[in-house]
A and B are shown apart, each in its own frame.
Chain A
Amino acid sequence: GAVVSQHPSRVICKSGTSVKIECRSLDFQATTMFWYRQFPKKSLMLMATSNEGSKATYEQGVEKDKFLINHASLTLSTLTVTSAHPEDSSFYICSASLGADSYNEQFFGPGTRLTVL
């Protein structure tokens, strides 16, 4: 099956710093990548959808200046949490798909645990 990796798997940073998380599709070209956030004992919440070469589409309530998403190639998308604060601590999960609709299966990465001190 298709494999999606995330790096790093865990990151601890100081408040006010920026953190970049990478999402890679290892064996297929992903037209669309998705970024999710998962709080403890909560479901995954979609943050944004990005298509290669174009600006990401953010869900309502997600600050696009805080969570910068870049999808520069068909195999790589990055999420940068700018000026991180303790409330940004969470589990961030990406997924990659061949297309933007639900008929195209989303393949999920293993997630990145962000802790902001």
Chain B
Amino acid sequence: AQSVTQLDSHVSVSEGTPVLLRCNYSSSYSPSLFWYVQHPNKGLQLLLKYTSAATLVKGINGFEAEFKKSETSFHLTKPSAHMSDAAEYFCVVSAPGYSTLTFGKGTMLLVSP
């Protein structure tokens, strides 16, 4: 069994400040982990994924995430927020080699000028 907990339903930041979106997972095996972003009226877009290679994963648009097995965490970070980063972000877990994706409930990132 696997599950994902996104600790914040909403995160508000000012443009130019760092972003931290928190995600904890539960899995009975070595998981694959993903972050997806969903802009209004757009499909979900893959930001980055971890599949048992380097624990620090770099994604698109300056985002990165670090897999910490001891903390069962996969937090998403960005050094400097941009207005265009405002969207809903989903942390996702999957068993390696299997198609079933288990989604967190999402975190809405709000960016103010």
Interface residues, chain A, with chain B CB atoms under 8 Å away: 1, 4, 9, 32, 34, 41-46, 49, 93, 95, 97, 100-103, 105-111
Tell whether A102 pairs with B106 under 8 Å between CB atoms, given A93-B43, A108-B45: no
Q: Which 4 A-B pairs have the closest CB atoms?
A: A43-B103, A108-B43, A108-B44, A102-B94
Q: Is the CB of B105 within 8 A of A106?
A: no
- For B, the interface residue count at a CB cutoff of 8 angstroms equals 25
Given A93-B44, A111-B43, 8 more A-B residue pairs with CB atoms under 8 Å apart are A34-B99, A41-B105, A93-B43, A101-B98, A102-B98, A106-B46, A108-B43, A110-B42
Complex contacts, A93 vs chain B, CB 8 Å:
43-44
Complex contacts, B46 vs chain A, CB 8 Å:
105-106
Task: Give the complex CA separation of A9 and B42 in angstroms.
Answer: 10
Interface centre among A34, A41, A44 (most CB of B within 10 A): A44
Interface residues, chain B, with chain A CB atoms under 8 Å away: 4, 9, 32, 36, 41-46, 49, 51, 90, 94-101, 103-106
A43's partner among B32, B98, B106 (CB-CB below 8 A) is B106
Tell whether A97 pairs with B43 under 8 Å between CB atoms, given A102-B32, A102-B94: no
Task: Give the complex CA separation of A4 and B45 in angstroms.
Answer: 11
B105's partner among A34, A43, A97, A110 (CB-CB below 8 A) is A43
